[in-house]
Amino acid sequence: MMRIALGVEYDGSAFCGWQFQDHSPSVQAAVERALAKVADAPLRVICAGRTDTGVHATEQVIHFDTEVSRSMRSWVFGANANLPKEVVILWATPVSEEFHARFSALRRRYRYVIYNRNVRPTFLARRTAWNFRPLDEARMAAAGRLLLGEHDFTSYRAMGCQAKSPVRTVYDLDVSRKGELIFIDIEANAFLHHMVRNIAGVLMAIGAEERPVEWAAEVLTHCDRTLGGVTAPPAGLYLTRVTYPQQFPLPQIDGSAALW
């Protein structure tokens, strides 16, 4: 039995999210069908982090176990030949049985992309979150710094979040602008359901000067989702990197480099 890890890039616009669903197409189902064609046998994959409907990834990490012998090139190009155009395998590498795409991960990094102009976008409509209000990225960055460190993020998670603990550690939260695009880059040990989108909603309200910079920290102290901001739309969200211990040397790419 061999364990293989892969990097997966996808445009989530056409999918109900990563996880398999009976009623709608999922990224997981597309990937498993493509890999099964290469293996000539059913395969089940495990991912680093499940993404929601409409959310994208520049490098999701997955693994699977198989008794089938194929070259790493065959797994990549064979699967890509059977994947829809919205999904592509970036790389494949053998790993030890101790590796687990989800449980071995130390950190996860997301980028939230906002198209900030007074008229809606066309080409980037499904790949960015449009906000027509002029946003001050410096105010957003200052507010984001208040969320660094270990906190109870109850106010920033979905009401239906099933995580046992709301405590997470945010290592980095940076806000930058490039023309009409604003980027929120955030890295943490793990994320709660809708955590990044809820943070983005709060930061956009602060950037529009509807709320003071300090509001980002005040929302934390409430520990009440109903006292937080709106949940930002999924189209602007990308999983860009998953970090693993050095004992698992994966051929990873800089996911954020693919986003403008």
User: Of 11, 22, 52, 174, which residue is the catalytic one?
Assistant: 52
CB 3 within 8 A of CB 99: yes
Q: Is 43 helix (H, G, I), strand (E, B) or coil?
A: coil
| Cα–Cα distance, 199 to 114 (Å, whole number) | 13
Could you confirm whether 52 is annotated as catalytic? yes
Q: Is 110 annotated as belonging to a binding site?
A: yes
Cα dihedral: 170, 176, 182, 186 (round 10): -10
Residues flagged as binding site for substrate: 110
Residues that constitute the known binding site: 110
Question: Which residues are identified as catalytic?
Answer: 52
